[in-house]
């Protein structure tokens, strides 16, 4: 069994479908997301997963130093057996899922490189992508939480950059890895959320969920009047 399969089994044992829909309802009905503000909800959801998975957080000073050095984004937490997992959150008010099918494509959904603190005036986007790939000393493992507010539907996926490259493009090469990364013409480089979804689904590391009966949602909302830790607040 692959290490990612073992991690996903652990995730399923510790994060329930109820947990997943409650996160979506909390950040849409109880503490609605301000989509124009910063990614506070993403940070809080990461903290919930970290608590539920008993994962270790990388010190913020390490993250800041890495970013200021112009290096790649580091992983947000360390999961089971020392495997590093990058937690990504996508919450939108509609338009995330196909009516009869899975997640829609968005090539600018999951940021993995941020060059906003680096002078890249004379460096091409392709060179930056190649530098990122060449500096990789390990795979980039991704745990992606998605929730579509309008349709009350979401998913949780687990895969990795190398696995996507092999599964989608057939072989693990620098050229193929670069094809998975898109530039938004403004300092940021991304993975397509559809690639993460499809690869996770192919390897049976996908949990899809929707809202339960309305009375259960209403009871949950009514119960959230005493706010304590972030997990107690949301779950």
Three-class DSSP category at 201? helix
pLDDT value at position 232?
75
Could you list the residue range(s) of the whole structural domain that residue 111 is in?
3-234
As given in the structure block, the two tokens for residue 153 are 């539907």
Overall domain count for the chain: 1
pLDDT value at position 176?
97
State the DSSP string of 67-112. Answer: HHTT-PPPPSEE-GGG-EEEEEEEEESS-SB-TTSSBPP-TTSEEE
Above 80 in pLDDT, residue 29? yes
Answer for the pair 52, 30: CB distance below 8 angstroms, yes or no: no
**CB neighbour burial string for 153-169, b if at least 16 within 10 angstroms, e if fewer:** bbbbbbbbbbbbbebbe
Higher pLDDT, 208 or 83: 208
pLDDT value at position 77?
55
Q: Could you tell me the pLDDT band of residue 60, with boundaries at 50, 70 and 90?
A: very low
CATH code: domain of residue 68 = 3.40.600
Q: Could you tell me the pLDDT band of residue 139, with boundaries at 50, 70 and 90?
A: very high
Average pLDDT value for residue range 103-110 = 94
As given in the structure block, the two tokens for residue 234 are 């949301």
Answer for the pair 7, 197: CB distance below 8 angstroms, yes or no: no
Residue written as token pair 């290096």: 71
Above 90 in pLDDT, residue 76? no
Q: Residues 29, 33, 36, CA angle at the centre, nearest 5°?
A: 150
Above 60 in pLDDT, residue 127? yes
pLDDT value at position 37?
65
């Amino acid at each position: 069994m692959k290490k990612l399969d073992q991690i996903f089994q652990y995730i399923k044992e510790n994060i329930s479908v109820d947990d997943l829909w409650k996160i979506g309802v909390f950040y849409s009905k109880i503490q609605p997301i301000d989509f124009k503000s910063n990614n506070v909800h993403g940070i809080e959801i990461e903290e919930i997963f970290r608590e539920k998975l008993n994962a270790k957080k990388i010190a913020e000073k390490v993250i800041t130093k890495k970013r200021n050095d112009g290096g790649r984004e580091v992983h947000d937490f360390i999961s089971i057996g020392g495997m590093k997992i990058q937690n990504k959150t996508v919450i939108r008010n509609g338009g995330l899922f196909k009516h009869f099918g899975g997640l829609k494509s968005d090539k600018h959904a999951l940021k993995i490189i941020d060059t906003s603190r680096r002078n890249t005036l004379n460096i091409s986007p392709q060179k930056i992508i190649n530098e990122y790939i060449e500096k990789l000393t390990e795979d980039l493992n991704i745990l992606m939480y998605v929730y579509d507010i309008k349709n009350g539907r979401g998913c949780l996926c687990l895969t990795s950059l190398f696995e996507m490259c092999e599964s989608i493009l057939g072989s693990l090469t620098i050229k193929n890895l670069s094809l998975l990364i898109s530039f938004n013409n403004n300092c940021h480089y991304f993975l397509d959320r559809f690639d993460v979804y499809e690869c996770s689904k192919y390897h049976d590391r996908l949990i899809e969920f929707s809202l339960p009966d309305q009375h259960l949602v209403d009871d949950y909302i009514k119960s959230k009047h005493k706010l304590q830790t972030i997990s107690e607040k949301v779950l």
